[in-house]
Structure formats: C-alpha cells, structure tokens
Chains A and B, each alone.
Chain A
Amino acid sequence: MSNLAVVAVLLALAAIAYQLGLARSRGVAQASGARMHSLPRYHGLLVVLRAVVPATAVYLLWTLFGGTIIEAMVIASLPSEHIPPEALQQRVLLQRIGNLASGFGLLGEAQAYEQAAATYMQRLTATGQAVTAALMATLAALGLFWSWRKTTAETRARNKVERAVQIALIACSAVAIFTTVGIVLSVLGESLRFFQFVNPLDFFFGTTWNPRFATVGDTDQSGFGMLPLMAGTLMISLIAMLVAVPLGLMTAIYLAEYAPYHVRNVAKPIIEVLAGIPTIVYGFFALVTVGPFLVELGELVGLSIRATSALTAGLVMGIMIIPFVSSLSDDIITQVPKAMRDGSLALGGTRSETVIKVILPAALPGIVGAILLAVSRAIGETMIVVLAAGNAPVLTANPFEAVSTVTVSIVNQLTGDQDFASPQSLVAFALGLTLFAMTLILNVIALAIVRKYREQYE
C-alpha cells in the first residue's frame, strides 16, 4: 500500500469518526432529553482524536522503523558465509535481494541463498504490513467503539479536546528548545570527538591554520590553530562596524529626527531592501565590483590592495549591516520619550544639541545593544567572506591582504571529500562551537540590554 493511499484512508477514517461522533451525540441528546455538556462538534473531534491518532502513530512507527527491522532480520537469516563484512557490500546485497523480492528481477542468475532471502523478505514485508494494518484497524475500531459507549450527556468532550489542543501547542513550543539542545549536543559532541585528536590548547591558541588532508598512517595532527581565523574574523567585523555604525546611526538619527514625513516614508523601506538581499548576492557584488574597484583605488594612491581582502569583505559586510543598525537604532531613538526632547528644545537647545546631549545618552544602552547584535551578525556571516575575503589563513594586521575566517573554514572543511570522522572534518564542529559560544554571549548581553532599556521607557 502506498503512503498516499494510507493517508487517504486515515483522512476518510477521520471524516467518518467525526460524523459518527456528531450523530451519536445528537442521538444521545434526543434519547435522554438531557442538556449535553459539549456541542456536537466537540464530540466529533474527540472521536477523531481517539480513533485516528493511535492508528496514525502505529503507521508512523512502521514507516520509520519497519524497513530497518526487516533488513536486519534478513541479514541475520543469511548463512554466515554469505554475510559480507563491509557495510557497503551489505547494502548492495540488500539492494539485490530487495529487487528480487519486489519482482523487479535481476540481471543474471540469482544465487540460491539470495532467492531464499528474497522469499523471506517478501514474507516479512507481507507479515509486517498485515500486522500494521490489523493493529491500525483494531485501534481505530476500539477508539470508535469506546467513544460510542462513553458518549453521554455529561461527557466533557470540549474540555478533553481543548486539553489535547494545549498539549499540541506545548509540544510545538518545545521544538525551539529542542533545536537549541540539538545544536549544543551535536556540535559539542562532534567537537569532543575532535578534541580526542587535537589538544584544545593547540586549537584555541595555535597560530598556524593548515589542516592537511588525512593520509593513511598520518598521525601528525598539527596545523589546527584557530588564532589566524579568529584574527581574520575580528578584523573583518571591525571594518564592517566602522562602515555600518556611523552610516547606520546617522541614517537613523536623520530619519527619526530631521527627515520630513514623506522622505522618511520613501527612504526607510528602500534602505531596508538592503536587509532582504541574500548574502550570496553581496558576496558576488564584493567579488565582481567592489574588489576590482578597490584595486584601482589602491593603484591610484599607491597602495597594493588585493581584490579579495579583509577590506573588500569588511566594506561589503558593512553595507549589509547598515539597515540592521539603522532600523534597530531608529526603533530605540523613537522610543525616547517626547518630553525629554521637548524639554531640551524648550531650554533653547538646537536639534543637534538635543540629539547629541539628550537623546543619544538616553538611548545609549539600546544602541549599544543594537551594535552588539550587529557584531554577532558580522561574526557569523558566511557567504560574503567565502567569496571576498581571499581564504588565506595567515596572521596579519594588514587589511589589504587576504585573510580567512572561522565561517570560511567551516565551509571549507565540510564541503571537501573528507571522511566525516577525520579531524579535518570534525574541526568544523569545534569552530562552530566557538562561533556559537561567541555569538551566544554577545546575543545574551545585547538582548538583556535592549530588554532592560525597553522596560525603562515603557
């Protein structure tokens, strides 16, 4: 039976169960003449919950684990001399047996033991499907029957349905928690495996980044020092902030305090367009336009600037972050109470004096929070630096040179043809852990500041 057919059957079952519930509750109401506790539709929904949910659960379990169980049993049934030692060969054999069992046939003769295994697999599949179908039918029938018996005027169907709704809502909110837990556990777990190969001190404080390709018998695990990457990340983020903070902040101040209504209405969404552009587009822009432009500019003033350098990546990343800084600062500036503004103006302050001496100090904590969020964004940004930073993991303080960053190295280490279990791949998770920890700390501080600030003026 195909999945689609099963879904159709389950949907039909739900419809029938709902109608049965409706009919039954109306019947009970007429027969007893009593006032029902719940409306008929709640009785209907309750029957659906009782009949369809267990059956669906059984079906999901079979779909998720049935195949694996059958394959394990087929392998176990094979005569021991025919069980291939390697996982890959086992998969090939299972594929052959599966083709035989499904009647697709094989090219060439099937071995006797393969034929036997295929028959066994057919039988197992048939039995499994029959058992699942029987179990689903029984559970559905039991659910229907039980609901039929239990429907009375006093049945608190609405409360039960609402309880189920609440449980579903709680389960959905737990997904966010599980995501965080999943990130921490998976990244931490793989990082710990990495630290079995490489000393954490060498990783965090090493000054050479040169993870060689794993070769057979190569036990030399050096070149995993992340300091050059961290230096590159910080340099690019610093450049980005030098671009984004003045531009973003001044934009926000102008739009919030000076701009006429219609200018603000036009300029604000256009600048926010910058925030919606995918980072890969910025990367391409950096590579094709900004990089060559900087090279020419450098020649003009007698500097040697590489097309892909910390400066290129930082500048473009700064452009990307402008709307982030400006819209957050804008929110914060407009939140400063009007009374403070009016007070300053009434005392004879000019607008700029009001902004510099009253509004900015009042908004400072919020703006610092916004800037911290922007820094965390810059640190975690990937595509711009992958394309435009030049991927040269060396310790340098020269922004005109190519550098590499933490995110670039994560991509490089995980997109090669590396074995997932080698330290060359696992190092990506250790880098990811560092990145996650850094951004988490920045975010927690920033969010706490912003939140506190909001409460202050609410």
Chain B
Amino acid sequence: MNSSTHSDQGYSAIRQRVESSLARRRNQELRFRALGIAAVTTALALVAILFTTILSKGLPAFWQATFVMDVHFDPEVIQIGPKPTAMPGESPAAFAQRLTQWQLDLNFIDFGQIIHRSIAKLLPEADQHPEGAAHLVTSGELFALRDMVVADPGIVGKTVRLKLLADANVDVWLKGNIDRDLPDAQQQLSAQTRQMADQLYAKGVIQNKFSTAIFMNPDSRSSLASAGLAGAFMGSLFMMIIVILLAVPIGVASAIYLEEFAPKNRWTDLIEVNINNLAAVPSIVFGLLGAAVFILWFKLPLSAPIVGGLVLTLMTLPTVIIATRSTLKAIPPSIREAALGVGASKVQAITDHVLPLARPGILTATIIGVAQALGETAPLLLIGMSAFVASVPATAFDQSTALPVQIYLWQGNELRNFFEGRTSAAIIVLLALMLSLNSLAIWLRKHYETRW
C-alpha cells in the first residue's frame, strides 16, 4: 500500500514535470519547423531572384535599336569590277594574289558614305555632321552592305529598304541605359549624334526591333551592336559532339566492366576510389592537365574545340561512369541469371538483356554529362579559349570560343551599359539550352523509370 502511494506521488511528479514542459516543447517544435520553412523559402527565393535578375536584364537586349530605311547603292561611290575567277593556266598562287587585290579594292569602298547619304535624305541636319551621322549605324552593317554587293553586283544603282542595326551607344542612349543628364564629357556620343538619334527615333526611322544578330553573328570588337554568339555556339557544339563521341562510349564501357566483369580486388577498388575522386577534382585542374598534356606535349592548337572537347571529355567521364553504374546496379540480377540460365554467355547476357534495359539510364547519364560540360568555363580559359575570335569555326581544329567563355569575355567589355544586357541575353541562351537538356533528362527518367 505504502509503496503504491509512493509511486503514485512519483508518477504525478513526473506528470507535472512533463505537462509543465509541454508548452516549451511545443514552441520549440514550432520554432524548428519555422526555421525549416524559412530555409526552403530562402532557397526558393534565391532561385527566383537569380532568374528575375537575369531575365529582366537580358530579355530587353534581344530587342535592339534598328534603322528601317531606304538605302541607295550609289554607283558614284561603289566602283568595283566583277569578282575575279581563276583563268586557265594560272597558278593558284597567282590567282590568290589577284583575288586579294580585288578584295583590297572592295575594302576601300566607302560604305559609310552610302549610309550617311541615306540618313541625310531623311534628316537634312545629318549633312552638317557627317562624323556624327557615321556613328549612328554600327560598323558591322558596312560589311553587310559590302557582302550584298559581292553577292549581287546588280544591286549597285538601286534603292533597297533595309534593316540596319544602330550603333551600340545609340542603343544605350535610346533605351535610357545611360543617365541622359550626364555632361557631354561623360557621354559616349557627341551632342549632335544624340540629338540626331532622338529625332530619327521620333520619326520612326530608328525602331526597337527584335534582332537576330545575337544568334547569327560571331563575336565582334569593332561593331559591338552586331556581336553575336554564333562562333561560340559552334565551338560549344563541336566540343559537345566530341564529348558525346568519346565520353559516352568510354564511360559506358568502363561502367560495364566495373559493374559486370571486374573481380572484387584491390585493383578494382583502386579504380573505384579513383573515379569517385576524379568526379570531385576541381575543374580548373583538368584545364591544367589540358594545357600541359595536349598543348605543351602533343602540340595541339591553342583555342581549338578539339582540345576543349578532350579536356571536357576527361572531366565528364567520371559523371557518366558513376551514373551508368547506378543504372546497371538497379537492374536486378535475376535478368542476368535468367539469360545465363538458358545458355547465354556473360557478354551475351549483357549486350542482349542488360544494356537494352539500361538504355534510358545511359541516355540520362549522357545528357547530365553533356549539360555539365556545356556550362564549364574555367578549364577552357587555361587552354586559350578565351582568345577573341571573330569568325565561326568551320572545323574542330579552328580557333573558337565557347558559350560560357563568351559570357566571361562579354561581362569584361568596357562598354558596360550595353554589355550588361548582352551578357544577360547570352546567359539566357545558355540557360535555356542547359535547362532543356536537364528537363529532357528528368522527363526520360520519369518516363522510362522501371521499378523492379
């Protein structure tokens, strides 16, 4: 009896202690939960801030100040013979010299004069400031006019309605990306040029039009308004082709060997640890490897997509191997055992039964690897791909940049007001490519996912 009373007292004491702590514990629980929600919200908000910043800066840059006007190809200014063709019996070297001379003559034609006269027709004041008028249209359009003459000599003497990109500084001025109240000394354009730009804009000669220049043109330093991503895109494309051609077969083959054939011993353990480590080696170290091995020892060309592709292949290989291995691991042993049971050899079991089942997984691994390689910048800087290249590479051995490297180069351009938008636009292109690759991978995983 006595002991029971004693323990009853004990129980009630404990009960009291527990009950008195309940409010505190409940608050603690709520606080912890709030912390968790705060963390998730912060992370989501950061994604949102990042994307809205890039989009709000980048999207307007796809629309550029553009002249829409009649351009008269004045025969007084354009005086050039037809493009020379090789004559029979002429040595290639001699023909090359004649061609060079003709191109030299072509380059001496003052297309700036053509544009100036066309503007003066619309805005008589332009005649008093030929210098200012010349700065209204970006210089790359002069080459576009030249190419039109080369493509069709019959155009000389005609008047054609054309869309010409305005100079980068005009674009900045008209979009209000520079403080309009700054004193003349701090403005990029002279007062007359600014005034002419405003008048032409008011007349609707200069319009804010969607421009394909950023997609169609290579990079440029002289004509910033028409600088584009075409060269960088081709460079990246060549590198991705090399990565797919090399990293995927080699990666899948090593994954098959490690997962299906390799005996469990110290040697394969070493390979495994090694691959896991390679996956975590900083990408810039792969750049050092590329600089030392491919460029210093093998004398491969600097800035070429072939070297970039090889470096990125080595970098993505561990990713492909690890992802493929986990796919192979997920395929139940019963499949292999069934194949072996009806008399297939080990290789047959793998090629005829395991690999077809692993195909979606391998595809996903490939896409993840390619997406990783597509966004990589640092190793490419070390093998010279940050050089300025004003042409679209025709082969993987030509000089070129890559999309992320182009972003790096553009963000460093002195004309900040123009290139902040341009760089953001380039980022949008890169992110769009990467996100579509990644969502393709997610879709594949969802669509073909098999639960065993």
Contacts and interface: CB of A to CB of B under 8 A. Distances in A.
Interface in B9-58: 25-26, 28-29, 31-33, 35-40, 42-44, 46-47, 49-50, 53-54, 57
A40 B423 CA distance: 59
B46 A175 contact: no
A381 B253 CA distance: 30
B235 to A, nearest CB: 15
Contacts of B251: 172
Contacts of A273: 47, 435, 438
A105 B46 contact: no
Nearest to A179: B314
Nearest to B404: A280
B292 A443 contact: no
A277 B375 contact: yes
Interface in A3-37: none
B43 A247 contact: yes
A319 B289 CA distance: 29
Interface in B260-289: 261-262, 270-271, 273-278, 280-289
Nearest to A106: B93
A274 B345 contact: no
A395 to B, nearest CB: 23
A311 interface: no
Contacts of A169: 253-254, 256-257, 261
Nearest to B282: A380
A353 B321 CA distance: 40
Contacts of B49: 289
Contacts of B273: 444, 447
Contacts of B253: 168-169, 172-173
A381 B375 contact: no
A387 B280 CA distance: 22
A189 interface: yes
Given A166-B261, A447-B276, A270 B47 contact: yes
Contact of B289 (A103, A187, A284): A187
A301 B440 CA distance: 46
Contacts, number: 269
A329 B5 CA distance: 50
A246 B32 CA distance: 12
- Residue from B37, B47, B262, B435 whose CB has the most chain A CB atoms within 10 Å: B47
Interface stretch (B145-153, B175-183, B197-205, B426-434): B426-434
B382 A285 contact: no
Contacts of B376: 278
Contacts of A162: 345-347
Given A105-B94, A271-B47, A351 B29 contact: yes
Interface in A110-143: none
A183 B371 CA distance: 23
B362 interface: no
A208 interface: no
B417 interface: no
B317 A176 contact: yes
A258 B46 CA distance: 21
B318 interface: yes
Contacts of A165: 347
Nearest to A444: B277
A271 B54 contact: no
Interface residues of A, number: 92
A182 B281 contact: no
Contacts of B92: 103-105
Given A107-B93, A281-B427, A355-B32, A440 B281 contact: yes
Interface string A80-112: 000000000000000000010001111100000
Given A180-B274, A288-B57, A289-B53, A274 B284 contact: no
A176 B278 contact: yes
A168 to B, nearest CB: 7
Interface string A422-458: 0000001100100110011001100100000000000
B122 interface: no
B288 A187 contact: yes
Contacts of A288: 53, 57, 420
A339 interface: no
Contact of A407 (B39, B378, B442): B378
Contact of A254 (B40, B270, B287): B40
Given A254-B40, A411-B382, A279 B281 contact: no
A104 B257 contact: no
Contacts of B281: 183, 380, 436, 439-440, 443
Contacts of B50: 274, 277, 281, 285, 319
Interface string B290-317: 0111001100000000000000001001
A241 B278 CA distance: 22
B282 A381 contact: yes
A302 interface: no
Interface stretch (A71-79, A220-228, A371-379): A371-379
A217 interface: no
B408 interface: yes
Contacts of B36: 250-251, 253-254, 257-258
A99 B91 CA distance: 12
Contacts of B396: none
A271 B38 CA distance: 14
- Residue from B53, B254, B346, B431 whose CB has the most chain A CB atoms within 10 Å: B254
A152 interface: no
A69 to B, nearest CB: 15
B366 interface: no
A322 B43 contact: yes
Interface string B386-401: 1000000000000000
B249 interface: yes
Given A253-B36, A284-B407, A284-B423, A176 B282 contact: no
B19 to A, nearest CB: 12
B244 interface: no
A271 B43 contact: yes
A257 B35 CA distance: 13
A63 interface: no
Interface string B89-100: 001111011000
A278 B375 contact: yes
B39 A254 contact: yes
Interface string A358-389: 00000000000000010011011111001100
A193 B169 CA distance: 48
A250 B44 CA distance: 13
B283 A104 contact: no
Contacts of B286: 183
B250 interface: yes
B375 A279 contact: yes
Given A104-B92, A169-B261, A432-B285, A180 B278 contact: yes
Given A247-B43, A269-B442, A428-B288, A281 B430 contact: yes
Contacts of B292: 186-187, 189-190, 429
A287 interface: yes
B258 interface: yes
A175 B40 CA distance: 41
A432 B377 CA distance: 16
A186 B383 CA distance: 14
A382 B39 contact: no
B280 A284 contact: no
B113 interface: no
Interface string A302-335: 0000000000000000010011001000000000
Nearest 7 Cβ contacts at the A-B interface: A380-B282, A254-B36, A278-B375, A250-B39, A105-B93, A172-B253, A186-B292
Given A254-B40, A350-B28, 10 more contacts: A106-B93, A168-B253, A176-B317, A179-B314, A183-B286, A251-B40, A267-B43, A283-B411, A352-B32, A411-B381
5 contacts: A173-B271, A176-B318, A247-B39, A254-B40, A414-B382
